[in-house]
Amino acid sequence: MTAADCLASERIWFDKPRYDEAERRFYEQMNGPTKPKQDTGANTILQDIARARENIQKSLAGSAGGSAADIGELAARMKSLELENQSLHKVVEDLRSALSKMESRVSALERRSSSSSSSSSAPAVNGTRPAAAQKPPSAPVKEEEDDDDDIDLFGSDEEEDEEAERLKEQRLQEYAAKKAKKPALIAKSSILLDVKPWDDETDMSKLEECVRSVQMDGLLWGASKLMPVGYGIKKLQINCVVEDDKVGTDFLEEEITKFEDYVQSVDVAAFNKI
């Protein structure tokens, strides 16, 4: 079987392109020519541009609304600041008026004091006094006394200062005397001592007698008792009250441990301020 026979037996549509071309021309005549592919791409680009413009307009409209809100807020704040400024101006004006009134009152008081002082003692001009301030010639002694009073301007002030100093010294002396009569507070402490013997054969009554034999100013012995330690040994627990400035724990330990025949050691079991 040859190649031509094989091709003849195959069912292949060799004329399909011609039929397709004929079909295309038929539809073009019926509906008009079809648009090229480039026009479709251009339409897509135009649609994208239109959408972009629409989005830009929307964003501009939103920003315009936000700026309007900001402008309204700024206007409200400016209005409140203007009101506050007006109230401050009013307060300043009130203060100025009060200050001016105070200054006028002070100036009036100064003028009144100066006029009263000038009327009481008029100043001498070129060694002579004005006619209004001169005394009649019938009383020359009185005029001399007035002149002396005018010259001694600060005599009364000095007397008042001396009187104040005298009162101050008197009060200081009274306070010192009162403080000296007041009894001073004495600091005291309560001490509980543990005095331990050497063994169970130590005479505890003799040991207590030795401890109480320690005497000095500011030391007062109190109650005592025997406390078991172990193995039949007991320790002496004794209380005492001391003045802090006169007696210390170190002194007590040194004095009690001097009785070496009875005392092994001394410990401070409790220490309380009174």
Pick the CATH number of 188-273 from 3.30.70.60, 1.10.8.50, 3.40.190.10, 3.40.50.720: 3.30.70.60
Q: How far apart are CA 97 and CA 108, in angstroms?
A: 17
Confidence (pLDDT) at 230: 86
Confidence (pLDDT) at 29: 85
Confidence (pLDDT) at 46: 79
Confidence (pLDDT) at 28: 84
Pairing of strands 219-230, 233-243: antiparallel
Q: In this predicted model, what pLDDT tens digit does every residue of 76-117 receive, in sequence order? A: 888 888 888 888 989 999 999 999 999 988 988 888 887 776
Predicted TM-score of the model (pTM): 0.35
Average pLDDT along the chain: 78
Q: How far apart are CA 182 and CA 166, in angstroms?
A: 25
**232 Rama class: left (phi>0) / alpha (psi -120 to 50) / beta:** left
Q: Are 269 and 190 in contact (CB under 8 A)?
A: no
Q: Are 193 and 255 in contact (CB under 8 A)?
A: no
Q: In this predicted model, what pLDDT tens digit does every residue of 107-165 receive, in sequence order? A: 888 888 877 766 655 544 444 454 444 444 444 444 445 555 555 555 556 677 888 88
Ordered by start, the domain boundaries in the chain are: 77-107, 188-273
DSSP symbols for 213-258: T---TTEEEEEEEEEEEETTEEEEEEEEEEETTT--HHHHHHHHTT
